[in-house]
Amino acid sequence: MRRLWSTLATLTLAAAAALVVVPPPPAVAAPVHTETNTFFTSRYGLFVHYVPGLTVNSSGVVVNDVNQLADSFDAAGFANDVASFGVEYVMFTAWHKNMIPLYPSAKMAQWRGPGKSSNRDVLGDMIDAVRAKGIPVLFYTHPRDGHDMDNADMIATGWGDGGAAYRPNPNPATFDRTKWNNFVNDIYAEMLDRYATRISGLYFDHPDTNVVDYRRLESTVRSHGGNLVTMQNYYGNVMTSQVADKEYGGGGEFASTDGNTWPAYRTEVVSSVMGGQWWAKLGTASTTPGARFSAESLFRYTVLQAGTNTVGGGVKWAAGPYAGGGWENGVASTMRKVNSYLAPVARSVKNTFPSESWPTADRATINSLAWGVATRSPDATHTYVHVLKPPTGSTLNLPVPADGRRFANAALLADGRAVTLTQDTAGVHLTLPAGAVWSSVDTVLDLTSATLATGRIVTASSSAEDASWGRGKVVDGRTASVPGSFGWSSASSEFVNHTESVTVDLGAATRVGEVVLSPRSDGANTGYGFPVDFTVQTSTDGATWTTRVSRTGYARPDASGQPFTFTPTTARYVRVTGTNLRANPADYNRYRMQFAEIGVADTPVTGVRTLLNQSHRRLLQGTGDPYPGRTGTTTVAGTPASSPNTEDDWTVQDAGGGYLRLVNSTGRVLTGTADPYQGRTDVSQVAEGPAGGGDDQLWQLRDAGGGWYTLVNKRYDRQLHLTADQYLTRVDVNQVVMVPTSWDTPEQRWSIR
């Protein structure tokens, strides 16, 4: 599946002494989008099972009693440990064997009687402790684990009499699917009512439509849990989940301790045991090593997966703590060593996406790579080259960037030393500084490039001009505020809230579709100076202005660039006007508008693209199935990102007048219809039909914020919408329709990639 992003990138302090401005990169990539859930930009997690009947204490004795296990859980120690591992998220067991939740469950008592959940709220204590470290939490769950219950509980829940003889499946003669799903949905609803606002997502184990009504479960999750990430271990079908998980329990390619042979996955998260088992299995006296793999192998694979995985989550390394605290021999020390490699280059792995300049093939291994992988920052201002297989000399020669990007400079990420960069028709050439050598683990190079604004003329309503501040410093390519280049600052009426503006002259009319505003980023001043209410406007002549972006109540950002995308247009001038400024308590509560950098890019949506829905993470796809009553016309649907194919590809054509035409790889065109959907006169069906030139095949792209768009049909003035309804018999595929433009939910928002 293609993942094309903004061409925008800007210069950093690295190699500032040798700052070189290059021509703007060709405009070939789609707009940057932002994610509402950090899981989708996370690349490094921890998968933890803590389960009665499975987890051992440090003596290697299995703890069967749920309350003994619960009472021995050291939440504070656990949180300290996972923080020292440096992970971006933790996935923790809500229940597994015998479906015994680690919280006091009234519903479990109602269905099965007393003693079938813990008295202590282990999940709540764990969440509070881990979130206090700034680490999000997801829950592992199992919606069809009735096979571990005793016979009385099997009967009570609908699993059926005598099911133990059929493990892991229920007895088909006595299984009551409706009753079982009543039970399951009761438990999920109760759990989500307790924790949904404190977790980021859910994992569902063991896909099985014979047992679980996934559409009903999805409805329960959304009605009680909102927009949680959902994940399913992947055996060919993600059911109704958003993300597929490739699990390795010590077998397959991960049976080898040679990390250079482990495959990475573009459209699946990876879970792999690195301890004794998914849970703590080996006591401290065991002669079997608790940690299966070396820290170097774990780190290098984490980097490989970060440069490959397009759907979020990266890799989750799996191990469990002992009852009473602590870890199997070598687990904690190995994970801390992984973090020692990660910490100096964390921003090149954590909160990143795979780079489109040098994409990594699905199922690539380190052995299969020529040199390594590349990642990029969410705002597309930095590309990180991870050299996992160093060249023999001091120069790394990379092929021509696949997205046409041109780079301006490079530096060693770990210490900021300048790396010599040249770029020609053969590719990109990077030479280490004198005295530097390639690491045998991972050398990370930070590459940055010019934008349409770099080096251009800037005017402003007022401006502080000194050694560190100035109009020219907001387009010098340095996205961080550093001595000698803090950026631009207004300089009038500082003790009252007022209006300020700053304008970039691009030198000539050109296509623009994205502006990235990099906040002031020096210490306690970080994010201050970024306006609360503001507009981004464009003009071809500097006299007549069109508002492209309008924001009110904008929260104080961190140091990262803030991308604002809009339908591409022709402009020579870009103006940012702040009408409500932010007082800075570290600057005597002065009201200033300040940016470290302003970047401008063209982000065309034309070309071959995929369209991903924000809600269910489904791709718009032509199905090939006949559309009733229309010759040569077929249906469309939303399919999982874990199952990409060519019918996910749409050639987006500029049809003129502000409209687009979307042509599927089959040659058929996305077409709106007046045909009612399920009897709804306000909701109609969508198809793909032969090119006819009608306005039912024209779509207007409307900015929904953060790089997400709605697509509105010209003839019917309705927008494309992904439903929660199943497509035909495919539990993992959703119906696509058109709904009124007044609807405003994630189901109508699409990213173009």
For residue 391, is it within any domain?
yes
Q: How far apart are the first and last CA of the chain?
A: 9
Query: In 10 A of CB 661, how many CB atoms?
Result: 19
pLDDT digits (tens, 9 = 90+) for 321-361: 999 999 999 999 999 999 999 999 999 999 999 999 999 99
> Quick one: tokens of 494?
């500082």
Tell me, yes or no, whether 639 and 547 share the same domain: no
DSSP state of 544: S
Average pLDDT score over residue span 170-198: 98
The CATH number that applies at residue 425 is 2.60.40.1180
Q: Are residues 74 and 137 in the same domain?
A: yes
User: Among 555, 573, 601, where does a domain finish?
Assistant: 601
Q: With respect to residue 10, please indicate whether it lies within any of the assigned structural domains.
A: no
481 by DSSP, 3-state: which? coil
Q: Which helix (H) or strand (E) holds 21?
A: none
Q: How confident is the model at residue 4 (pLDDT cuts 50, 70, 90)?
A: very low
**Could you tell me which residues come within 8 angstroms of residue 554 by beta carbon, excluding any fewer than 6 positions away?**
530, 531, 532, 533, 534
H helical segments located in 31-72: 66-71
* Residues 557-575, mean pLDDT to the nearest whole number: 90
Is the per-residue pLDDT at 655 higher than 80?
yes
pTM of the model: 0.87
pLDDT-based confidence at residue 11 (cuts at 50, 70, 90)? very low
Q: What mean pLDDT comes out for the span 522-543? A: 97
Domain count, the chain: 4
H-type alpha helices, 132-213? 151-157, 177-195
Specify whether 597 is located in the same domain as 683. no
Residue 26 pLDDT more than 50? no
Residue 539: inside a domain, yes or no?
yes
Task: Lowest mean pLDDT of 131-135, 433-437, 650-654, 700-704, name the range.
Answer: 700-704
In this prediction, residues 712-722 reach a mean pLDDT of 98
| Co-location of 218 and 325 in the same domain | yes
Question: How far apart, in Å, are the Cα atoms of 617 and each of 95, 318, 325, 732?
Answer: 26, 25, 37, 11
How would you classify the pairing of strands 383-387 and 372-376?
Answer: antiparallel
Average pLDDT, the chain: 93
Encoding tokens for residue 581? 């400024």
Predicted pLDDT at 568: 82
Residues 80 and 164 in one domain: yes
Domain finish residue from 572, 601, 630: 601
Domain for residue 686, yes or no?
A: yes
DSSP line for 114-150? TTSS-SS-HHHHHHHHHHTTT--EEEEE-TT-GGGS-
User: What pLDDT band is residue 32 in, cutting at 50, 70 and 90?
Assistant: low
* Chain-centroid distance, C-alpha 727: 26
136 and 252 part of one domain: yes
pLDDT at 19 over 50: no
* Distance from C-alpha of 305 to C-alpha of 584, rounded to nearest angstrom: 40
- The pLDDT of residue 125 is 99
Dump pLDDT digits (tens) for 475-506.
Answer: 987 888 888 999 999 999 999 999 999 999 99
Say how far residue 601 (Cα) sits from the centre of its chain: 22
Question: Do 319 and 193 share a structural domain?
Answer: yes
Q: What's 155's DSSP letter?
A: H
Please report, for the domain that includes residue 511, its CATH number: 2.60.120.260
Instruction: Please report the DSSP string for 273-341 in residue order.
Output: E-SSSSS--S-TT-SS-S--S-HHHHHHHHHHHHTT-SSS--EEEE--PPBTS--STTHHHHHHHHHHH
pLDDT > 90 fraction of the chain, expressed in percent and rounded: 85
Residue 30 domain-assigned (yes or no): no
Inside any domain, residue 88: yes
The 3-state DSSP class for residue 231 equals strand
- The residue among 396, 413, 448 that closes a domain is 448
Q: What is the mean pLDDT of residues 578-584?
A: 98
Give every CB contact of residue 219 below 8 A, 6+ residues apart in sequence.
724
Residue that the structure tokens 């930009």 belong to = 41
Domain span at residue 743 reads: 607-752
My answer on whether 263 and 168 are in the same domain is yes
Specify the CATH number for the domain of residue 618.
2.80.10.50
Residues 365 and 440 in one domain: yes
Residues 205, 327: one domain? yes
Instruction: Check whether the bond before 531 is cis (ω within 30° of 0).
Output: no
Q: Which amino acid is at 324?
A: G
Nearest to 48 by CA among 277, 306, 248: 277
Residues 265 and 130 in one domain: yes
Q: What is the CATH number of the domain that holds 111?
A: 3.20.20.80
Residue 231: strand pairing partners = 203, 243
Among residues 103, 93, 91, the alpha carbon closest in space to that of 67 is found at 103
In a domain, 28, yes or no: no
Whether residues 651 and 726 fall in one domain: yes
**Phi, psi (degrees; rounded to nearest 5) at 334:** -65, -45
Q: Is residue 22 domain-resident? A: no
CA distance 184 to 108: 10
Q: Is 9 a residue whose pLDDT tops 50?
A: no
Residue 246: how many other CB atoms lie within 10 Å? 19
**Among all chains, which residue has been given the structure tokens 């990138």?**
9
